[in-house]
Structure formats: C-alpha cells, structure tokens
Amino acid sequence: MENKILRELEEKYTKPSADFLADLKNIDGDFVFLGIGGKMGPSMAKLLIDGLKALGLKRKVYGVSRFSDKEGKNYLESLGIETIACDLLDDDALQQLPDVKNVIYLAGFKFGAVGKEDFTWAMNTYLPGRVADKFKNSRIVALSSGNVLPFVPVTSAGVDEEVDPEPIGEYAQSTLGRERIFTYFSKKNNTPTLLYRLNYAVDFRYGVVREIAKQVYNEQAIDLTSNNVNVIWQHDANEIAIRSLLHTASPAKVLNVTGPEILSIKWVAEKIGQGLGKKAIFINEPENTALLNNAAECHRLFGFPKVGILEIIDITVQWIRNNGDEFGKDTHFQERKGKF
C-alpha cells in the first residue's frame, strides 16, 4: 500500500503541465543535458521525454555524464535517452559530443569545494568556456545559483537581476565565474544563452523542506540562525529550465528562479510538525539577513509555480510518513560563510 501511495504521489507531481507542452511545441531541434547525473538531471530529462511523447514529437535527447552510477545510466536509457559517458574536462571527449540545437548545462561542483578549490574553479569556470565554444551555434540554458548574490535584510523583497553579485567563498565566486564566461562567449559568438539562477529546488527526496522535515521527525534541534529562505518545487524548476530555451538571448539573459515567498524556517518546521504529529525544536536567534532571491521576472514570463509551499509541505509529510527514499545530499542552505 505504501509503495502505491508513493508511486501515485510521484506520478501526480511530475506530469508535464499544459503550459510546458505549449512551449515545448515551439522548441525546435534535438537536446543534450550536460552533467545529467546530478540531482535535477534525471527528473528534468524524464520531463522532456514525457513531454515529447505527449506531443508526438520525435527528437533526440542526449544525456552526458561520467556515469559512475551504472544504475542511473540504465534508468536514463530506459526512458529513451541516448547516454554518453564523458568526462567533460577531457577536451577531446567534449569536442566529440554531437552538435545539437538545445543545450541544458547542469555540470558543476559545490559540495567538497573546500580543499578542492582548483577542481572547483576548473569545473565551474574553465569548463563553461570550453562548452560555450563547442556549442557556439546552439542555444544554451546554463544553471547557476543564487549563491552568487549578496545577503540582504529579511524585510526586503529579495535580490533581483539588477543587483550586482557579491559571492561569498570560492564555490560562489567560481559560479559567478561561470556566468561571466558564458556571457563572454554569448557576446563573442552571438550564442543565445540564459543564466538560470536557482535557489532552492525541493523534491520528494531532497531539499530544504525535506531536511527540515527530517529534523522534525527525528526530534533534532533546528538552527534558526538563517531563518529565511526561498524554495521552488523541483518539477516547476525543471519545466522553467526547459521552457527557458525560448528566452535565451545574446548577450546572455540572467533569470532568478524560485518560489514567490520569503519563507520562515520556523514556520515551515511548525507546519511540518503539525503534519507529523511532532513538536519542532529550535536553537539560536535568527540573523536579520539571508540569501534571498527575487524571481518576479521569472513569474512574469512563466507564471507562478504550480505547486505552492503548503502543498510542498503536505507532499513531504506524506513521503516521510510512507518511508519514501531520500538522496542523502544536504543543501547546506544555512551556510553563511561560503564553505561548501
């Protein structure tokens, strides 16, 4: 019974929306996901495949990764994705990748960056230049991060695309480097590009809400030092990423992507506690600043996310109550000094 509940939840909350299908019809050409093996890649690729099938469109979809996880590779191939095992930092291998019209760039390095600063910069700043040059005749949506932005008062509306970045720590600095390099090549080669600044995607198996819920469930104290955050349901974020191919530009367009609310961690934890029948426990006093993303332009282009925060909380509670699996990869959303 529990597996049926989880399966129904996943089917309900990962279906392509009508808005997504309407835009997908207008995206010509084949697709490649570079760095498909991460947290968002498989679900984003499945969304694309499901959308193409629903529309009766025949397009090639490639998935590129090192594929250290053979089970993940097999799963993608079962969907109809043509997988290519490739170390993207191997320039000879990169140059042999098929030329396609639509590039979704998901590659990057964050967790473990402390102690591997050289690799962090190679992945996050050097590689984008090689990719941008290789795919100069494509349109590119490159995932970035709200970590490039400054901390702002929690009473503000968050940081929009007009505010200058102020990255803290080498991960965030190298991620800004990614944006600058893609922008340079977008200008140089007239490559339509969109820089997709995301924070934070949440899903059944990982993300800020899942982490809070796990702490509530295990009766662990929740640190309120960073008490405010933005989130977006991952399926909504996936749809926006693919639909953003229609909004690429030269010079590159920057787009903040998240939900409309500035959330209180304490409020989220208390709501989750009500659903789980647990009392949330808190420590520390909140700071008056946080890393907050203003996604008003995103909402103008694509509308508000289909799944709101109360529904996200309900989904998460159901998933945990029914022993749903998890990725075990924390977001470190409470980090304030850029040490990932």
- The pLDDT value recorded for residue 11 is 92
Residue 37 CA, distance from chain mean position? 13
pLDDT value for 50: 98
The DSSP symbol for 68 reads -
- Spans of all domains in the chain: 2-199+232-260+292-307
pLDDT at 334 (0 to 100): 75
Q: What is the pLDDT of residue 32?
A: 98
Q: What is the DSSP letter of 159?
A: B
| Cα–Cα distance list, 167 to 147, 195, 201, 231, 278 (Å) | 6, 16, 20, 20, 37
| b/e per residue 102-117 (b: at least 16 CB within 10 A) | bbbbbbbbbeebeeee
Collapsing DSSP states into helix, strand and coil, what is residue 208?
helix
Dist. CA 22–CA 25, nearest whole Å: 6
The confidence score (pLDDT) of residue 1 equals 40
pLDDT tens-place values along the chain, 340 residues long? 457 888 999 999 999 999 999 999 999 999 999 999 988 999 999 999 999 999 999 999 999 999 988 899 999 999 999 999 999 999 999 999 999 999 999 999 887 777 889 999 999 999 999 999 999 999 999 999 999 999 999 999 999 999 999 999 999 999 999 999 999 999 999 999 999 999 999 999 999 999 999 999 999 999 999 999 999 999 999 999 999 999 999 999 999 999 999 999 999 999 999 999 999 999 999 999 999 999 999 999 999 999 999 999 999 999 999 988 887 767 767 777 777 6
Single pTM value for the model: 0.95
DSSP state letters, 285-325: PPPSEE--B--HHHHHHH-S-SS-HHHHHHHHHHHHHTT--
pLDDT (0 to 100) of residue 133: 97
Paired tokens of 58: 């025949």
Task: Specify the residue for token string 């290519």.
Answer: 84
Backbone phi, then psi, for 45, in 5-degree steps? Answer: -65, -40
Greatest CA separation found in the chain? 57
Q: Output DSSP code: residue 331.
A: -
How many angstroms separate the Cα of 94 from the Cα of each of 59, 64, 143, 202? 21, 10, 18, 31
| pLDDT at site 2 | 54
DSSP sequence for 82-128: EEEE--TT-HHHHHTSPP-SEEEE-----TT-TT-HHHHHIIIIIHH
Question: How many residues would you count in the chain?
Answer: 340
Point out which residues pair with 141 in neighbouring strands.
104, 194
DSSP 230-273: --EEHHHHHHHHHHGGGG-BSSPEEEEE--S--EEHHHHHHHHH
Top CATH class, 2-199+232-260+292-307: alpha beta
pLDDT of residue 327: 78
| pLDDT at residue number 255 | 98
